[in-house]
């Protein structure tokens, strides 16, 4: 690719780096556009990444090639984008874990039943919405290939909840011939799965005319009591591995990656069959929660600086959105079908709305605790980033971290049961 009439040639990795930074710059500008107090925020980066993927992925693929035996050229754009996406996820969820860690266990202990029940209600509502879409598609729309359509719906469910673990589990459960249908469904629903929840957490405070100062005070009071109950006793001055806490962050990411690789068999086939794992995302979140809670290992401090965590959290989120958005945009035009997009919207809206009202009227959670828990129950990483900006406090991360692991396990199991039963 050449810029400015061929004066500046850009190829290979340079083109990839240029593209990433261009997407981030334009995406932030788009995210700043506000209509009646509502904006896309960081999701603006995702929109721009999708458009870039639709228009320029083939160009990116042609620039990112390697030669293998026989001089054959193979593109590796998909793998490069997956690295960007996964690096972003690790940076984001590890930062969230460290931020939430000091308050997480006290918070979780205090509201254990609420978090578990809310996560299950949200995922079951999503599962029931998927069942409804299956029956509607077969009975009303006349989908002939039932197995392929079920695979498509399961992919739509994982995309509507932006759940990579559910996506992976569904692909492992369906027949090999229908793995493509799972991928297509995931890609189609992922778009509204991101944007829908991002807009929801901004609209609800406005629609309910919430006093955000009062809501922040309620959340701060709750978080303070949880931190007091959970915070370990202060020790002597601790050894710092480095001034910013990069080493401690890296250690948590390394341990979390190994934790995420642990596979738990869910079938009689053992490790050769269907297995559950926390994945890198869940493993890094769990590990950083523990590190953030205990804060040290012997005399060594394992907590990064607050400034480091804030930068890594934002950087991780936008890298994740760039990687996922460009890859999704590459397939969107080719695979898009309007009826599937509607199914995806249904499977995002129903669990989100049901979860919000259940948390508000049954569990009696205050607004920010409600929305923080809901983003975790919807396994929505981008929505947490937006909610943090709306709430103007990182305390919402503790509620997200409390519901996320439960929802992660539940959505994997529901996806697999749908394939088995239908």
How would you classify residue 279: left for phi > 0, otherwise alpha for psi between -120 and 50, otherwise beta?
Answer: left
User: Which residue bears the tokens 């591995």?
Assistant: 241
- Torsion angle, alpha carbons of 16, 383, 87, 32, to 10: 40
| Report field, pTM of the whole predicted structure over 0.75 | no
**Total tally of structural domains belonging to the chain:** 1
In sequence order, what are the residues at sequence separation of 6 or more whose Cβ sits closer than 8 angstroms to the Cβ of residue 414?
Answer: 123, 124, 126, 127, 130, 157, 166
Written as six digits, the tokens of 397 are: 């991360």
In sequence order, what are the residues at sequence separation of 6 or more whose Cβ sits closer than 8 angstroms to the Cβ of residue 176?
Answer: none
pLDDT for position 22: 92
Q: Which residues of the chain have pLDDT under 70?
A: 1-11, 36-38, 66-75, 107, 142-144, 164-165, 168-169, 171-173, 176, 180, 222-236, 266-276, 331-335
Structural domain of 126? 2-421
In sequence order, what are the residues at sequence separation of 6 or more whose Cβ sits closer than 8 angstroms to the Cβ of residue 353?
Answer: none
pLDDT for position 276: 65
- In tens, the pLDDT along 140-170 reads 776 667 788 888 888 899 888 877 667 766 7
């Amino acid at each position: 690719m050449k810029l400015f009439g061929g004066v500046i040639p850009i190829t290979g990795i340079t083109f990839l780096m240029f593209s990433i930074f261009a997407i981030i710059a334009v995406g932030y500008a788009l995210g700043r556009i506000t209509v009646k107090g509502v904006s896309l925020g960081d999701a603006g980066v995702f929109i721009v990444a999708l458009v870039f993927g639709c228009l320029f992925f083939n160009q990116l693929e042609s620039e990112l090639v390697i030669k293998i035996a026989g001089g054959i050229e193979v593109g590796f754009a998909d793998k490069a984008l997956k690295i960007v996406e996964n690096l972003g996820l690790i940076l984001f969820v590890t930062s969230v874990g460290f931020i939430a860690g000091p308050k997480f266990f006290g918070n979780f202990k205090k509201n254990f039943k609420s978090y578990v029940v809310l996560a299950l209600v949200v995922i079951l509502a999503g599962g029931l919405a998927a069942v409804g879409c299956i029956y509607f598609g077969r009975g009303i729309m006349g989908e002939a290939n039932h197995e392929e359509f079920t695979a498509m719906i399961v992919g739509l469910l994982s995309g509507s909840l932006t759940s990579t673990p559910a996506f992976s589990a569904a692909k492992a459960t369906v027949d090999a011939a229908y793995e493509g249908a799972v991928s297509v469904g995931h890609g189609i629903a992922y778009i509204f799965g991101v944007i829908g929840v991002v807009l929801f957490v901004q609209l609800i405070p406005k629609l309910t005319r919430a006093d955000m100062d009062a809501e922040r005070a309620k959340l701060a009071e709750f978080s303070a009591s949880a931190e007091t109950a959970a915070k370990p006793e202060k020790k002597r001055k601790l050894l710092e591995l480095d001034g910013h806490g990069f080493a401690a962050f890296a250690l948590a990411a390394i341990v979390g990656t190994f934790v995420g690789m642990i596979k738990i068999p869910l079938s009689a086939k053992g490790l050769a069959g269907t297995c559950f794992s926390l994945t890198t995302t869940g493993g890094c979140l769990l590990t950083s929660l523990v590190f953030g809670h205990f804060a040290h290992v012997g005399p060594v401090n394992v907590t990064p600086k607050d400034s480091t965590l804030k930068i890594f959290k934002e950087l991780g989120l936008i890298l994740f959105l760039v990687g996922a958005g460009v890859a999704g945009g590459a397939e969107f035009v080719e695979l898009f079908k309007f009826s599937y997009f509607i199914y995806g919207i249904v499977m995002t809206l129903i669990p989100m709305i049901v979860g919000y009202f259940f948390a508000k009227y049954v569990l009696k959670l205050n607004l920010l605790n409600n929305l923080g828990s809901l983003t975790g129950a919807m396994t929505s990483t981008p929505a947490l980033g937006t909610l943090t900006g709306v709430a103007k406090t990182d305390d919402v991360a503790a509620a997200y971290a409390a519901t996320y692991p439960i929802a992660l396990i539940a959505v994997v199991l529901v996806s697999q049961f749908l394939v088995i039963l239908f």
